[in-house]
Structure 1
Amino acid sequence: MQHISRRQALIGLGALTFVVAGCADDEVPKKAADSANKAGAMASFGVNQQFKATEAVSFDVLYNNHPFYPLKNDWLFWQELTKRTNVTLKPVAVPLSDYEKKRGLLVGSGQAPLIIPKTYHPSEEAFVASGAILPVSDYLDLMPNFKDKVAKWKLEPELNTLRQSDGKFYLLPGIHESPWVDYSLAVRTDILDKHGLALPKTWEELYTVLKALKKEYPDLYPMTDRWGVPTPGGNLIKLVAQAYGAKGGWEYQHATWDAAAGKFAYTGAMPQYKQAIEYLHKLVDEKLLDPESFTQQDEQAKQKFNSGKSFVISTNAQTMINDYRPTLTKLVPDAKIVKIPVPMGPVGEYKIQTRLENGVMISKKALENKNFVAMMQFVDWLYYSDQGQEFAKWGVEGTTYTKDASGKFTLNKDIDFIGLNAGAPKHLQKDFGFSNGVFAYGGPTKLVQSTFSEEELEFQNVMNARQLWPVEPPHPFNDVEREQATLWETPLKDFVTQQTLKFILGERDLSEWDAYVKELEGKNMTAYVNLVNTAYERFKKEHG
């Protein structure tokens, strides 16, 4: 098996940077602050200043309705938000399972709410050419908190990855002071201890552990997995591909920067992507990984793990507390589980994670709303000010939490959240609407980690000791290129997804890899990569 070296992974990768408020934003014919639509806006609004509209205003917001904490109209979040800001949000609720599809239909038809959260880059690119969403980088003078954090945290390289061919970006991302990793694998440590097995630190060590467990439990699959719907192997393929220097699963993108070559390569045909597939195929072929992992519903996966029919499964901090421990400890009282640091592979001790999260799109029709300036100030306060982020995450001081002189948060004893007060009668998300994924993400490291258990902090300490994978250079398409790329992307991605699954499950032999690559070429892979590299060279030339 051919492995890439750390040197190959890093050579030649340079970030293209320019100041957020400069360059493309200076070309705006009329400054956003001069907008006529200032009804309800504050005359002066600065960093960490409480926003409060000068008159009662309301904005509709697309709401990703999570089944774990379904929408309630009487949440304290709504009431307190209006009390503090004079803004009433009107949620247009869409089930989490249907969110992306429904969002696309609403934006495409011009019927989307003014505020469109929970959008993952590059999903916004599909709406740029039609003019359905606002080039938000044109209006950053209305967002002092966003600009302040970008400058303090030196986020320009990451923001540049969002910019389109016009030099603007159309998504207000969630931003972190420090990169952090949430998703990894949960492992039954009681089972490992019983058989004298150490926690795996690499994917090869995981293979060894699974092989040993298979010998002890020949009738079981030592590992089963979740999050295979709608993206087969969403988390698992992502993590394994990262270890080899590729993109897969949830984070699959058609093009990956080849630092050694100084250009982009087609991800689904890269040797590193093949190596990730070979590893996963080995697990399935030797019956170490449940083949249903890539297609089963989450409930099936959880049932297998929680009943002791498997010992390893994908997790994040919340699913450990909400989905596994309560049920597992009832069914298997002596069970112990831990979220292990993401196993490493050939690229070494890297964490491949940016400091950007899913973000907010703004409907183009918002520009004509008389409260446009007030709305942008409000969005800036809620998503980017220290006070707004603290409110969205923790709630109301004295009612849901307390904070001491050192800044340490303590959740009220009668309220639970990710096991901080296990068994408490109330829940921060379900009963109050705080720590809601639509509104609470990103922020200063101290705030992000304020809800972490000691166990999670230990995980983060290990991950934070690793180097951050370099930011890829931007390669935005112009309108003509985007139209062409759109015609090629879906057939290419569908084919890569289908064949990846076939290779992993053994339905197609890996000896046919070269034939698969030729099939990709027949689906315009080479033309697509040429388009990407043309866009990269043009952007580098025009924007430095």
Structure 2
Amino acid sequence: MEPIVKEPYTLTIGLPQNTNVEDYDTNHYTQLLEKKSGMDIKFEMLPAKDAKQKLAVMVSGGSALPDIISMALSDSEVYSYGSQGYFIPLNDYYENNSFYFQQIVEENGLDTMLNDIISADGNIYTVPLYNPEYGNEWDHRAWINKTWLKALDLDMPETTEDFYQVLKAFKEKDPNGNNKADEIPYMGHINGWNSQPQDFFMNAFIYYNTSYNYILADNGKIDIAANKDEWKQGLQYLNKLYKEGLISPLTFTQDRPQFQQAIENPDAQIIGSITTGSMSIYQTDSKRKEDMTALPPLTGPNGVCWSTKRYQGPSSRGYVTKDAKSPEIAFRLLDLMCDKELSINSRFGEKDKDWKFATDADKGTGLYENMDIPATIKVINNHWGQPQNAEWAEDTQPAIRPYQYGIGGMTWDGNEYDSQYMTAQAVPSYIDKAPEEVVLKVPFTTEENDRTSEILTSLKTYIDESTQRFIVGDMPFSEWDNYVSELDNIGLEEYLKVVQKAYDRYRKNK
């Protein structure tokens, strides 16, 4: 393909400034874009922590916007800016001016991708980031001490009752063999990646949809899990574990560093099980991590065995503004970002320096070979989260990376305790254990968002606080009916009504 422009052309991009990027102007990814497009790219940096607020101030103050805004925005935010004319509709540009986006989606069978980025008014205002990964899609995972199971001659638990008996054995039978009652059967922590017990164990009683506000759907009918008897049964089970000292009280108070001190205890292995989305919670060379293995989803007393599924479809990223000198040229630059190699560059850095394509010699070494994703990417220098000048960091730009061109296609170095490898080995036990109909995304109009945002905040706060209180016993189960009534008082019916209307519209667009 020829460059987008043949004459000198300057294009401005507004995006959040990441302190790990050394210099956006000399950045390798920037230079690739300039070389392939023929443009001179200039940046209007937005403060990393307040990028959305800065954009809102620019819009409300009537400031001229850069040609392109490149950052993550919610569906309702995109709709708001688009419906007011600050972002222009891209429907016709996708049809007439898209090359790289169309090429990669057609090559990978992703022809319906645009359906997931249609706003409530039927317009498309964004060029997306698509970066699915099985480990993120099925990320409500628990881990158990396999060394202790072997020491006590116990089988891997399959049911909630099995797990209860295993935890009792962990507490009572000195599995670490130091003649001290120092074993902690289960421990979690706050503000982590699915690090609370309910994130995993509730799925043995009712589908636990943290991906979308505990919402359930059955044949298009919207409901909520948090007021159901099965939800109550799950909390009663966790309360039983807590009362018997099988769940550490620190689970609901300690932060990540405190939790890490416990799981890396230098004197002895003291942890029987944990919940976390990634074993990177351990140190890279941790010996304690070597005792742990994935705990498959448990089956509850009513035969329920779910695994939470998280949205991995396209998300909004690049937008052409009303002040773009040439909307077509701006769109074509966003389209260029969807080129296969540029999409890989934007995550892994400079080709042949930070990464290279896997060869026949790497066959069989892919992280997800067990799920038929071949080894595609061999990482030479993993700089994710580190200071670098190879890419823009943290995916602030559009890109299309199907499974094989992201983490899913990475080669494995043979370390059985690499956190990515441990995730890849865990995923097959979790995948496809969600209900047939799962609500992952419901685009709201601005009006719908305004009607529900305060209600949702109050609902989520009350549900989450009550969940913890039920588990630790601060709220007795004799208060269950009052809890359910309070959900109604907060506005549950109104919230479900708005979600139902938006969900009906979303299903129709798909």
* TM-score bracket for the superposition, by shorter chain length: 0.7 to 0.9
Q: Distance in 2 between matches of 1:434 and 1:295?
A: 37
My pick for the range that moved more, 515-524 or 77-86, is 77-86
- The amino acid that maps onto 1:221 is I
- The amino acid that maps onto 2:323 is E
**CA shift for structure 1 position 315:** 3.5
My pick for the range that moved more, 493-502 or 345-354, is 345-354
Tell me which residue corresponds to 1:377: 332
Tell me which residue corresponds to 1:352: 309
Q: Distance in 2 between matches of 1:56 and 1:376?
A: 14
- The amino acid that maps onto 1:72 is E
Among residues 398, 410, 427, which one is paired with 1:451 in the alignment? 410
Q: Distance in 1 between matches of 2:502 and 2:495?
A: 11
Q: Distance in 1 between matches of 2:411 and 2:75?
A: 26
Over aligned residues, Cα RMSD in angstroms?
4.2
**CA shift for structure 1 position 514:** 1.6
Is 2:254 the counterpart of 1:296? yes
CA 1:488 to 1:400, structure 2 compared with 1: closer, same or farther past 3 Å?
A: closer
Q: Distance in 2 between matches of 1:124 and 1:53?
A: 32
Tell me which residue corresponds to 1:491: 458
CA 1:388 to 1:134, structure 2 compared with 1: closer, same or farther past 3 Å?
A: same
Q: Distance in 1 between matches of 2:284 and 2:166?
A: 25
Is 2:172 the counterpart of 1:210? no
Tell me which residue corresponds to 2:185: 222
Secondary structure of the corresponding residue to residue 268 of structure 1: coil
Q: Distance in 1 between matches of 2:276 and 2:250?
A: 17
Q: Distance in 1 between matches of 2:499 and 2:29?
A: 43
Q: Distance in 2 between matches of 1:89 and 1:206?
A: 57
Among residues 22, 27, 44, which one is paired with 1:72 in the alignment? 22
Tell me which residue corresponds to 1:395: 349
1:205-354 matches, within 5 Å, as: 205-216=162-173, 218-226=181-189, 228-229=190-191, 236-249=197-210, 251-253=211-213, 255-259=215-219, 262-307=220-265, 308-316=269-277, 319-321=278-280, 323-326=281-284, 328-329=286-287, 335-341=290-296, 343=298, 346-348=303-305, 352-354=309-311
My pick for the range that moved more, 306-315 or 132-141, is 132-141
Q: Distance in 2 between matches of 1:320 and 1:79?
A: 35
- Residues 62 and 117 of structure 1 are in contact (CA less than 8 Å); yes or no, is this contact kept in structure 2? yes
Tell me which residue corresponds to 1:166: 121
- Residues 82 and 125 of structure 2 are in contact (CA less than 8 Å); yes or no, is this contact kept in structure 1? yes
Is 2:378 the counterpart of 1:410? yes
**CA shift for structure 1 position 508:** 0.6
The count of corresponding residues between Structure 1 and Structure 2 is: 461
**CA shift for structure 1 position 503:** 1.6
Secondary structure of the corresponding residue to residue 322 of structure 2: helix
Q: Distance in 2 between matches of 1:355 and 1:296?
A: 30
Tell me which residue corresponds to 2:371: none
Secondary structure of the corresponding residue to residue 368 of structure 1: coil
Tell me which residue corresponds to 1:192: 149
Q: Distance in 2 between matches of 1:469 and 1:509?
A: 34
Tell me which residue corresponds to 2:417: none
Q: Distance in 1 between matches of 2:331 and 2:32?
A: 19
**CA shift for structure 1 position 265:** 1.1
- Residues 392 and 439 of structure 1 are in contact (CA less than 8 Å); yes or no, is this contact kept in structure 2? no
CA 1:191 to 1:93, structure 2 compared with 1: closer, same or farther past 3 Å?
A: farther
CA 1:105 to 1:204, structure 2 compared with 1: closer, same or farther past 3 Å?
A: farther
**CA shift for structure 1 position 324:** 1.0
- The amino acid that maps onto 1:191 is W
Q: TM-score, normalised by structure 2?
A: 0.73
**CA shift for structure 1 position 55:** 3.5
CA 1:374 to 1:300, structure 2 compared with 1: closer, same or farther past 3 Å?
A: farther
Secondary structure of the corresponding residue to residue 71 of structure 2: strand
Secondary structure of the corresponding residue to residue 515 of structure 1: helix
**CA shift for structure 1 position 139:** 4.7
Tell me which residue corresponds to 1:42: 4
The one-character-per-residue Cα deviations of 1:158-201 (angstroms, maximum 9, x if unpaired) are 76565443234556543357855363234343333333334445
- Residues 203 and 305 of structure 2 are in contact (CA less than 8 Å); yes or no, is this contact kept in structure 1? no
Q: Distance in 1 between matches of 2:312 and 2:42?
A: 27
CA 1:361 to 1:211, structure 2 compared with 1: closer, same or farther past 3 Å?
A: farther
**CA shift for structure 1 position 303:** 1.5
- Residues 297 and 306 of structure 2 are in contact (CA less than 8 Å); yes or no, is this contact kept in structure 1? no
- The amino acid that maps onto 2:121 is D
Q: Distance in 2 between matches of 1:238 and 1:271?
A: 18
Q: Distance in 1 between matches of 2:504 and 2:432?
A: 34
- Residues 15 and 45 of structure 2 are in contact (CA less than 8 Å); yes or no, is this contact kept in structure 1? yes
Q: Distance in 2 between matches of 1:234 and 1:122?
A: 28
The one-character-per-residue Cα deviations of 1:312-331 (angstroms, maximum 9, x if unpaired) are 33344xx534x4143633xx
Q: Distance in 2 between matches of 1:186 and 1:543?
A: 39
Tell me which residue corresponds to 1:7: none
Q: Distance in 1 between matches of 2:77 and 2:234?
A: 25
Q: Distance in 2 between matches of 1:207 and 1:125?
A: 47
Tell me which residue corresponds to 1:521: 488
Among residues 468, 471, 480, which one is paired with 1:501 in the alignment? 468
- Residues 63 and 117 of structure 1 are in contact (CA less than 8 Å); yes or no, is this contact kept in structure 2? no
CA 1:252 to 1:58, structure 2 compared with 1: closer, same or farther past 3 Å?
A: same
- Residues 350 and 469 of structure 1 are in contact (CA less than 8 Å); yes or no, is this contact kept in structure 2? no
Q: Distance in 2 between matches of 1:531 and 1:281?
A: 33
- Residues 15 and 396 of structure 2 are in contact (CA less than 8 Å); yes or no, is this contact kept in structure 1? no
**CA shift for structure 1 position 517:** 1.1
- Residues 216 and 438 of structure 2 are in contact (CA less than 8 Å); yes or no, is this contact kept in structure 1? no
Q: Distance in 2 between matches of 1:81 and 1:480?
A: 38
Q: Which runs of 5+ in 2 are unaligned?
A: 60-64, 175-180, 361-374, 415-420
- Residues 255 and 532 of structure 1 are in contact (CA less than 8 Å); yes or no, is this contact kept in structure 2? no
- Residues 115 and 361 of structure 1 are in contact (CA less than 8 Å); yes or no, is this contact kept in structure 2? yes
Q: TM-score, normalised by structure 1?
A: 0.69
**CA shift for structure 1 position 58:** 3.9
Is 2:386 the counterpart of 1:430? yes
Secondary structure of the corresponding residue to residue 13 of structure 2: strand
Q: Distance in 1 between matches of 2:310 and 2:250?
A: 28
The one-character-per-residue Cα deviations of 1:222-247 (angstroms, maximum 9, x if unpaired) are 22224x2289x666544444554434
Q: Distance in 2 between matches of 1:237 and 1:452?
A: 33
Q: Distance in 1 between matches of 2:196 and 2:101?
A: 30
- The amino acid that maps onto 1:312 is S
CA 1:434 to 1:190, structure 2 compared with 1: closer, same or farther past 3 Å?
A: farther
- Residues 59 and 87 of structure 1 are in contact (CA less than 8 Å); yes or no, is this contact kept in structure 2? no
Q: Distance in 1 between matches of 2:308 and 2:115?
A: 20
Q: Distance in 2 between matches of 1:157 and 1:279?
A: 42
CA 1:150 to 1:195, structure 2 compared with 1: closer, same or farther past 3 Å?
A: same
**CA shift for structure 1 position 519:** 0.9
Tell me which residue corresponds to 1:105: 53
